[in-house]
Amino acid sequence: MSVATGRIAPELSAEFPALRLYWTALDARPRASPADLRRRLRRLSDRYLGAGVVAMRIQPIPHAYRAFARQVGVDPDTVRIPSEEAAVRRLVQGGFESRDTVRDALLIALVETGVPVWALDRRAVDVETLGIRLAVAGERLGWPAGGAALTAGQLVVADASSVHATLLGRPAAEHAPGPRTRGLVLFAVRVDGVPAIHVEEALWLVADVLEAG
């Protein structure tokens, strides 16, 4: 597996010099998670207790994503960063729920590293032009004909033909892996305060879990 970097709009590079998008492509698809993977999730659930969730926001990597969210106008106390969202969901549900191999692998990487990784159906992505830019007026999340309207100037993960996700947000449903998926594009976002090695580790971890599963 090789990890590549996507395009960053020049105006964003100037304002956020550490901002990077890392991606990799895999031959994988969602399947029912085997017993070993479900047991691994149950063990990871034990790490997320009430006090730990409260303390999470001062840990270096979650703190870095929280700080970046504030820089781009998102209140992380209202719109939680992915690691805090996963932790709160674990508390509400009493444990991490297994969904499928892809979503379980993404969750394991998030819990293990603090770095969120997202998956797209490879058919929906032009990896040569994948990157981070500002949305323009009239754009929508997902295919041009559908999805939520975007605000001009909103940070998005996009390629030359469509917007796949808002930055640090869930991908458009039309672009997420599904029953017809046969290949994935995984991507992760580095911000100031998050070492590149941790971002690459998160991508490698997802790939390892999917290969083992």
Q: What is the pLDDT of residues 154-170, one digit of tens each?
A: 999 999 999 999 999 99
- pLDDT for 144 equals 63
Q: Helix, strand, or coil here: 188? A: strand
Angle of CA points 45, 174, 172, to nearest 5°: 60
In CATH terms, the fold of domain 4-212 is Phenylalanyl-tRNA Synthetase; Chain B, domain 3 (3.50.40)
* Domain ranges across the chain: 4-212
- pLDDT for 95 equals 86
- Lookup: tokens for 61: 């990597």
> Above 60 in pLDDT, residue 51?
no
Alpha-carbon distance 46 to 35, whole Å?
A: 18
Alpha-carbon distance 172 to 205, whole Å?
A: 23
Residue the block writes with tokens 């996009």: 158
57 falls in which pLDDT band (50, 70, 90)?
Answer: low
Alpha-carbon dihedral of residues 38, 40, 46, 49, nearest 10 degrees? -70
What is the pLDDT averaged over residues 105-125? 96
| Composition of the chain by helix, strand, coil, percent to 5 | 40, 20, 40
What number of helices (H) and strands (E) belong to the chain?
A: 7, 8
> Above 80 in pLDDT, residue 56?
no
Alpha-carbon distance 133 to 41, whole Å?
A: 34
Do 120 and 176 touch, CB atoms closer than 8 A? yes
28 falls in which pLDDT band (50, 70, 90)?
Answer: very high
- pLDDT for 212 equals 78
- pLDDT for 188 equals 98
What is the pLDDT averaged over residues 197-203? 97
Lowest mean pLDDT of 93-97, 149-153, 183-187, name the range. Answer: 93-97
Alpha-carbon distance 131 to 22, whole Å?
A: 9
Alpha-carbon distance 159 to 70, whole Å?
A: 25
